Structure 1
Amino acid sequence: MTDMQIDRRRLYHIGNLSIFMIGLGFAVRANIAPDLQADIYNHIDLANSAAMVGEALGATFTGFALTLLFGSALVDLVGMKRMLLLSALGYVAGALGLLAATMMPVGPSVEMVVLASLLLTGLGWGAVEAASNPMVATLYPEEKTHRLNILHAWWPAGIVVGGLMGVAISAMGLSWKINMFILLIPALVLAWMVAGAAFPVTERVSSGVSYGEMFGELLRRPLFWVFWACMFLTAAAELAPGQWVNITLSNIVGMQGILLLVYVSALMFVMRHFAGPIVKRISSTGLMFASCLAAGIGLYLLSLADSPLLAFGAATVWGIGVCYMWPTMLAIVSEHFPKGGAVAMGLMGFAGGLSIQFVLPKMGAIFDSAKAEAAGGANKLASLSPEAMAEVVRFASVESFQSVAVVPLLLLPVFGAIWLWQRRSGSTQAHAGNA
């Protein structure tokens, strides 16, 4: 296949739509999390329902991590086209599965259907990341950080659209199940666009780098595994609070938490278009240092906010902090380890997805424990008045958010040391491959 057959603009639009789709899915899951808890998990186990919701939402990240782990190694073999078609199929099947679950009687069977459906959407999410990230790195090798940040600007764009549609559905008194139909539309459009497009081979293949050289690049370079470990914490700081926001912040500030997520996502959509100029001034690693500092402060302030105004102020700080985290971590690895190819980027996404799989249930467990503590024992929850239960849930919400505020702050010494070393050694983005 020649370069003349590759429509770079069309492929970039496909990449943007695929990221928009997974952002939309993220918002839909945040929208329906309280409904899943109220309609299903409270009836199964009231005392542990938040942890059960966290486990269900975490299944999405398990599917995401697994697809990235194996899909990134296979994308060179199966091709970007098949991988993106798989992603569309995962979202269609997952949405239909969730709809089916809402029509079943509450019990272990419906719980398994919900888990399987969320797992399928996670597999679709992972397939998007496994294909779209190396595709953009291949199409724009000279401006990876800038282009990957613009690509991932469509993630918050999807959250904005999905979040506002969820709010509208709720405001009009319509069934929350309509949220699942929202997932189907971009998935079907993506499948149609992908089916008629020609795709390039990955940067690794076009450069003639063998599988052995690719894995050797990663195994011989300890710095890659430092960044890989960092991805666990940066993802936890960004994605876990976002997925949990509608359950917790709604109780803290007395408003729909999804509106805060929509606001932060709109902020991220705009800011990610300016990543290139920022990186030119302070480098990708310097940007990560500043991001972690702002994210930690923002998360702690979110847990203390007791009014919509303070919540929006704290959310602004958190949003500025997490804005560049995911795409910049991918760009850092692609710049420093170009021979690592799709596998290097996939392993980073795998770390992020695996992190959330552990963090969300942990946040749910902290929520449940604090809820029981405030009530004077788990056995007293069912007998609480609505007013008392509201106060108990509010206390638990604060505790669960404060638990993750320290996560990004743990990375400050790591990124600070690497940033300082790069500045002293004169390392630049152009020579990052020598790091």
Structure 2
Amino acid sequence: MARQKNYKKTLTACYLGFVTQAISANFAPLLFLTFRSTYGITLEKIAMIPMVFYLAQLLIDLAATRFADRIGYRTCVVVSQVLSAVGLVSMAFLPELVPVPFAGLLISVVLYAVGSGLIEVLVSPIVEACPFEHKDGMMSLLHSSYCWGAVGVVLGSTLFFALFGIEHWKVLTVLWALLSLYNTWNFLRCPIERLMEEGKGMSSGELLRLPLFWLIIVLMICTGASEATMAQWASAFTESALGVSKAVGDLAGPGLFAMFMGISRMLYGKFSERLHLTRVMLLCGVLCAGCYLLAALSASPVLGLAGCALCGLAVGIMWPGSISISSQKCPRGGTAMFAFLALAGDLGATVSPALVGSFAELAGGDLKAGLLVAAAFPVVLVIGLLILKGKAGGTALPTEATRPGKTSAS
């Protein structure tokens, strides 16, 4: 008798996959000043680290549209965990082994950024291929693990540094890397199904010829921009608005933002069968725009902080919701679709924070002016969702059949 596959193991591995991505994205920024004092690296060079991280993710997102299906999900996702671990360990030791410490840091960042990009591309289709019901709710719960990972990195690192001192940061770096190595074993053992039978999925060219898919790409760009802008500027905004230390700023700004984002995704995952995805997305888009306006226009520092925190609640559904809508509208999209969605989200996450910084600089260093500009992204998201909702009553594309176990997003 055939042994029944345990897809809960797959889900656990995917949850931890997003936790390892959260470590890659959020740990190094906590050490920027340590890098400056330890290796004598200027802040101008240190500012290149997040740029290199997101650029490497963008490139691997694009490349994955061509190689992920050919190599196979399991091989690619195992490599993602190994590269994440190797990159973190390299960050602890490589700068002292090469003539230019900054070059060692960048090599390490590229390694774990490639791992992070592969996680982002592969984990969602791996869960989508599992025979779970209420996929949109499951996707929301899956993406909540990134939020809790981000909260865990900030809290865990802050506690470690308080107990043992920042000078022992290399030990903590290796400890975080061990989680990726452990999850490598999980992905080697858990059942992984193909999202589409060979030859059944749409090619990149077919996807890019669909006007509907370009509309979803716009949604993902706005989603990435809405999420990353507040996530990256929340600490600086909190420090400047409340006049607190960096440690308090990290906890009150990005910490609260990530916590509320995780709560949002967990709540939707729990009640998804009772909720209407597109309507929830519309509500979240309006709330997100309101939060940016509150943070940018409020004269009260406390209300500004509330805008930052509640923005996490608003953006929580956007990324997994956009992926679920895309899966429902283009069920034959395959791995290429998930890779393009990750690429679009990362593009928004790369461009928007830089845009906010530029406008803030033009306004004489007023960060509120930059955040005011960022409010345009959730507004465009709402417009896109309304257009998508209107198309639901029109002529359906041949690829838009709804799969069993999924609810309509429109």
> Which of the residues 37, 44, 61 maps onto 2:54?
61
Q: Cα distance, 1:364 vs. partner?
A: 4.3
Q: Distance in 2 between matches of 1:434 and 1:300?
A: 28
Q: Cα distance, 1:64 vs. partner?
A: 1.8
**Higher helix content, 1 or 2:** 1
The aligned runs of 1:259-298 (5 Å cut-off) are 259=251, 260-276=253-269, 283-298=276-291
Q: Cα distance, 1:424 vs. partner?
A: 8.9
1:33 and 1:247 in contact (8 A); partners too: no
In structure 2, the residue corresponding to 1:6 is in which secondary structure?
A: coil
Q: Distance in 2 between matches of 1:434 and 1:257?
A: 38
**TM-score, normalized by length of structure 1?**
0.79
Distance 1:282 1:407, change over 3 A: same
Distance 1:247 1:114, change over 3 A: farther
Q: Cα distance, 1:140 vs. partner?
A: 3.5
Letter in 2 for 1:416: L
CA displacement, residues 292-341 of structure 1 (integer Å, 9 cap, x when unaligned) = 22222212323456777435422332012111111111111111101111
Alignment correspondent of 1:238: 227
Q: Cα distance, 1:132 vs. partner?
A: 1.3
1:236 and 1:355 in contact (8 A); partners too: yes
> Which of the residues 156, 159, 169 maps onto 1:165?
156
Distance 1:232 1:338, change over 3 A: same
1:24 and 1:159 in contact (8 A); partners too: yes
Q: Are 2:318 and 1:318 equivalent residues in the alignment?
A: no
> Which of the residues 61, 76, 90 maps onto 1:83?
76
2:292 and 2:307 in contact (8 A); partners too: yes
The aligned runs of 1:188-227 (5 Å cut-off) are 188-200=181-193, 202-205=194-197, 209-210=199-200, 213-215=202-204, 217-227=206-216
Letter in 1 for 2:311: W
CA displacement, residues 159-218 of structure 1 (integer Å, 9 cap, x when unaligned) = 111010232244444337345334312111111222333422x2212xx5435x444651
Q: Are 2:111 and 1:112 equivalent residues in the alignment?
A: no
1:67 and 1:127 in contact (8 A); partners too: yes
1:285 and 1:418 in contact (8 A); partners too: no
Aligned length, in residue pairs: 399
1:303 and 1:398 in contact (8 A); partners too: yes
Distance 1:13 1:310, change over 3 A: same
Distance 1:305 1:189, change over 3 A: farther
Q: Which runs of 5+ in 2 are unaligned?
A: none
Q: Which runs of 5+ in 1 are unaligned?
A: 374-394
Alignment correspondent of 1:334: 327
Q: Distance in 1 between matches of 2:97 and 2:360?
A: 28
Alignment correspondent of 1:135: 126
The aligned runs of 1:385-424 (5 Å cut-off) are 395-422=365-392
Letter in 2 for 1:210: K
Q: Cα distance, 1:433 vs. partner?
A: 8.7
Q: Cα distance, 1:15 vs. partner?
A: 0.7
In structure 2, the residue corresponding to 1:21 is in which secondary structure?
A: helix
Alignment correspondent of 2:12: 13
When the two chains are superposed, the root-mean-square deviation of aligned CA atoms in Å is 3.4
1:61 and 1:119 in contact (8 A); partners too: no
Distance 1:333 1:309, change over 3 A: same
The aligned runs of 1:364-383 (5 Å cut-off) are 364-366=357-359, 373=364
Distance 1:53 1:303, change over 3 A: farther
